[in-house]
Amino acid sequence: MNIDKIKSKILEVKNEKLKIKVNIGRNKYEYYEGIIKDIYPNLFTVLTDKGIKSWTYSDVATKTVILSKFN
């Protein structure tokens, strides 16, 4: 998936509640719940239950950050 497709998918879910799984290395993960707050040319910010976090689109492309909708 290229960066432009990722940006458009993130724009589609901007105001929806998301589950976020972040790979922090060595088979360790952090989990968040939140909504996408702002979208910038190189990164996006998420208002989570633990504060505001930001990630780049390449983090999503490399699956360091995995976003999924709540059902």
How far is residue 22 from each of residues 14, 27, 58, 66, measured CA to CA in Å?
18, 10, 13, 6
Q: What is the pLDDT of residues 4-39, one digit of tens each?
A: 999 999 999 998 999 999 999 999 999 999 999 999
What is the model's pLDDT at position 14? 92
The pairing of strands 18-25 and 43-48 is unpaired
pTM: 0.89
Distance CA 8, CA 48 (A): 21
- Please give the CATH topology (third level) of the domain spanning 3-69: SH3 type barrels. (2.30.30)
Asked if residue 1 has pLDDT above 80, the reply is no
What 3-state DSSP class applies to 60?
helix
CB 68, CB 19: distance < 8 Å: yes
Domain locations in the chain?
Answer: 3-69
